[in-house]
């Protein structure tokens, strides 16, 4: 007889952290993910409305149960002031994409039109290349990437996800100075 544990299904989760803005904090967090075997799909870190704290957004592909574990383990790190998985329903997520397409000038008009459809901008033009900038949620950027593939992507980088929840809720605990 076996213990009845549900079979895990893996999906993408957005974990948001408010951390002290001090040296070594990224190392502590990344180290915890690596030693406990949690794969990071993307990680962003940047300043917040309070200079002494930074905000990190980490995207993981894990089972919901494992994500709970991740949150609890991360919460134990001293420089982590707050950590939560953001609800996918209330999530505003954005990512930035820069992509360089190597293509002859005759295709530029077509690409301009395509970019417009995705609310993307052409930020650099040379005779045989274009650089397109787009932002949005990951799904939209994936779709744009797919469409651009046929033109020959020379180089591409994505910023990783940043996210906030809708409404008045914030990540910072009320007692935070």
Partner 1 sequence: MAKEKMTGAKAVVRALEAEGVEWVFGMPGGAILPIYDALYDSKKVKHVLVRHEQTGAHAAEGLAHATGKVGVCFGTSGPGATNLVTGIADAYMDSVPMVAITGNVSSALIGSDAFQEADITGITMPITKHNWLVTDVRDLPRILKEAFYIARTGRPGPVLVDIPKDVQNAELEFEYPDRVDIPGYHPPVREEPRLKDAAALIRGSSRPVIYLGGGVRTSGAYEEVAKFAELVGAPVVTTVHGKGSFPETHPRCLGMFGMHGSKFANYTVQESDLIIALGARFDDRVTGKLSTFAPEAKIVHLDVDPAEISKLVTATVPLVGDLKLLLPQLTEETRNAFQTSGRADIAPWWVKVNAWREKHPLRFTAQGEEHIMPQHVIQRIWEKTQGKAFVTTGVGKHQMFAAQYWKTSEPRHFITSGGLGTMGFCLPAAIGVQLARPDALVIGIDGDGSFQMTLQDLGTAVDLNLNIKIFILNNLFLGMVHQWQNLFYDNRLAATPLSDRPDFVKLAEAYGCLGLRARKPSELEDVLDRALAHEGGPVIVDIRTRQDEHVYPMVPAGAPLNDMIEGN
Shortest reach from residue 39's CB to partner 1, in Å:
17
DSSP, residue by residue, 134-176: EEE-HHHHHHHHHHHHTT-EEEEEE---EEEESSS--SS-TT-
Provide the strand spans (E) within 9-120. Answer: 10-20, 40-47, 53-63, 80-85, 91-102
Q: Is 58 in the site for partner 1 (CB under 8 A)?
A: no
Q: Quote the tokens at residue 78.
A: 């001293």
Shortest reach from residue 116's CB to partner 1, in Å:
45
Q: Is 124 in the site for partner 1 (CB under 8 A)?
A: no
Shortest reach from residue 121's CB to partner 1, in Å:
39
Binding residues for partner 1, rule CB under 8 A, total 28
Binding site for partner 1 (CB under 8 A): 1-3, 5, 19-20, 24, 27-28, 31-32, 35, 65, 68-69, 72-73, 75-82, 173, 176-177
């Amino acid at each position: 007889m076996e213990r009845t544990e549900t079979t895990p299904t893996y999906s993408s989760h957005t974990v948001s952290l408010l951390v002290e803005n001090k040296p070594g904090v990224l190392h502590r967090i990344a180290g915890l993910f690596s030693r406990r075997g949690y794969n990071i799909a993307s990680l962003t870190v940047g300043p917040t409305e309070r200079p002494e704290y930074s905000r990190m957004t980490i995207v993981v592909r894990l089972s919901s149960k494992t994500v709970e574990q991740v949150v609890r383990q991360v919460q134990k790190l001293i420089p982590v002031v707050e950590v939560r998985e953001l609800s996918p329903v209330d999530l505003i997520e954005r990512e930035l994409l820069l992509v360089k397409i190597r293509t002859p000038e005759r295709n530029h008009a077509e690409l301009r039109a395509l970019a417009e459809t995705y609310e993307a901008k052409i930020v650099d033009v040379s005779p045989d290349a274009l650089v397109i900038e787009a932002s949005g949620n990951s799904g939209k950027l994936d779709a744009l990437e797919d469409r651009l593939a046929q033109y020959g992507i020379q180089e591409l980088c994505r910023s990783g996800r940043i996210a906030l929840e809708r409404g008045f809720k914030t990540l910072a605990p009320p007692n935070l100075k």
